[in-house]
Amino acid sequence: MPFFSQTVEHIRSSEIRELMKLATRPDVISFAGGMPNNNMFPVKEVDEIMQNMDPEEKKIAFQYGPTPGYPLLLETLKEYLRSKNLPVDTHSLMITTGSLQAINILGMEFIDPGDVVLTENPSFIGGIAVFKAFQANIIGIPLQNDGLDLESLEKVLEKYHPKILYVIPNFHNPAGIIYSKEKRRKLLDLLEGKGIILLEDDAYNELYFNQKSKELTAPMMSMDYKDIDIVYTGSFSKILGPGLRLGWMLAPPEIYEKAQIIKQGIDACSPNFTQVIANDFIKKGYLEQYLNRIRKEYANRKDLMQAALKKYMPKEVYWHEPSGGFYFWLHLPEDIDSTNILKRSVKNGAVFVTGKTFDPNANKNNALRLAYSNMEKAQIDEGIKIISDAILEEIKNIQKKAFIQISK
Ligand SMILES: Cc1ncc(COP(=O)(O)O)c(C=O)c1O
């Protein structure tokens, strides 16, 4: 038996990974995977870019590049981030191998075993996995429909000295919510002078469905604040394709300096090949066109799922209708275990991700995540019916058990 490191001991097997195996069964309708449908990628545009690539650019694409990123992409990305009022002139930008790598780098830079890291509860499984791997003591702060529960946060801030607060303010994975302007303001005020790093993960920034939610997406890093170190991360995964493995990190210079050294030891540089493509994609004006296309498509998918949920879900289930992103988060009655529902609905041909997967302490399981980004649209109604029936059966089952208990 090999002697595994303590890091490995702290990695828990991901329920999502297990589910992905199930989800690939051709007869199963999967609402599990939080990724775009294969038919939605901008294949034509990228084909055109590859056909017309300058011979010198092609050679660069094959070569190693500077650790912080392909210089032309860094410049293009700076312009893009500047248009969102992000402080690209006072902060430093680094291209990372997916934004998950940025979270990893930050973990390596700041977390010693036992350090307190705060996340939302629920939170992105990838972020939780990183903090666990660095043996952080993760405390989950409840998430409300307009952002973090600030009363809970305040108590935790007083009691512990957390190193990092990790948040996903726009079109949250898995909760599907967006932070209100007021919550963002209060959060920045609350964190002032606390010596905590605010890790603002903005992977879904562009995926708004209407003007009102677009206006809400302004990152906290673009607002007025003082005496807080904010690290902002973003990704090409939702706006071009996760296969490119490109993300970015905008950080105060001090944090960036160490991050660069860490990245050098991980992979020297992010793929130059895809950085060249991403740069051309933006420069040729394809990004805006593509975003307009996918925003419409995701909004349509969301509408179909909302209609099916309203049609089939038992009255005990409630949810917040998303105004962007990929996800519905269903709240179930307290005593319902979503793993039991999953077992029932897998048998009938539909899968989703159970609530506890997104709880940093893997406790709370009376919720579930449905992604509308990936399966065939025509399957939404049928799949939601299967899951609704499974929930109804489980509710009846629990009520029957409670009745037998009382009658004894
Ligand atoms: C909230 C959030 N952050 C980060 C990521 C990671 O994205 P990337 O592909 O850029 O590593 C995801 C992917 O699903 C996500 O949902």
Percentage of residues of the chain with pLDDT beyond 70: 96
- Is the beta carbon of 124 within 6 A of some atom in ligand 1? yes
**pLDDT tops 80 at residue 22:** no
The residues near 343 (Cβ < 8 Å, ≥ 6 apart) are none
**pLDDT tops 70 at residue 20:** no
- Is the beta carbon of 173 within 6 A of some atom in ligand 1? yes
Per-residue model confidence as pLDDT tens digits over 321-360: 999 999 999 999 999 999 999 999 999 999 999 999 999 9
The residues near 178 (Cβ < 8 Å, ≥ 6 apart) are 169, 170, 171, 172, 213, 216, 217, 323, 324
- Is the beta carbon of 355 within 6 A of some atom in ligand 1? no
**Per-residue model confidence (pLDDT) at position 182:** 98
- Is the beta carbon of 168 within 6 A of some atom in ligand 1? yes
Per-residue model confidence as pLDDT tens digits over 368-395: 999 999 988 999 999 999 999 999 999 9
Mean per-residue pLDDT over the chain, rounded: 94
Question: Length of the chain, please?
Answer: 408
Q: For residue 352, report the phi and psi dihedrals to the nearest 5 degrees.
A: -150, -170
Which DSSP category does 14 fall into?
P
**Per-residue model confidence (pLDDT) at position 16:** 52
Q: For residue 166, report the phi and psi dihedrals to the nearest 5 degrees.
A: -105, 120
Nearest protein Cα to ligand 1, atom 2:
203
Pairing of strands 229-235, 197-201: parallel
Q: Please compute the mean of the pLDDT values over residues 109-131 and round it to a whole number.
A: 97
- Is the beta carbon of 34 within 6 A of some atom in ligand 1? yes
Measured in angstroms, how far is the CA atom of residue 396 from the centroid of ligand 1?
37
Relative to the CA of 237, which ligand 1 atom is closest?
Answer: 9
Ligand 1, from 103, 237, 329: best to mutate by most atoms within 8 Å of Cβ? 237
- Is the beta carbon of 35 within 6 A of some atom in ligand 1? no
First-to-last CA distance in the chain? 50
- Residue with tokens 């690209």, as numbered in its chain: 88
Nearest protein Cα to ligand 1, atom 16:
173
**Per-residue model confidence (pLDDT) at position 6:** 78
Beta bridge partners of 353: 369
Query: ∠ CA(145), CA(208), CA(365), 5° rounding?
Result: 40
Nearest protein Cα to ligand 1, atom 8:
98
* Dist CA 246 CA 97 (whole Å): 5
* Dist CA 239 CA 203 (whole Å): 9
Between the alpha carbon of residue 287 and those of residues 57, 208, 301, the distances in Å are 20, 15, 21
Quote the tokens at residue 234. Answer: 């973003």
pTM: 0.95
Edge-to-edge strand list for the sheet holding 318-319: 318-319, 327-331, 367-371, 353-354
- Is the beta carbon of 294 within 6 A of some atom in ligand 1? no
Domains of the chain (ranges; CATH) run 6-42+288-407 (3.90.1150.10), 47-286 (3.40.640.10)
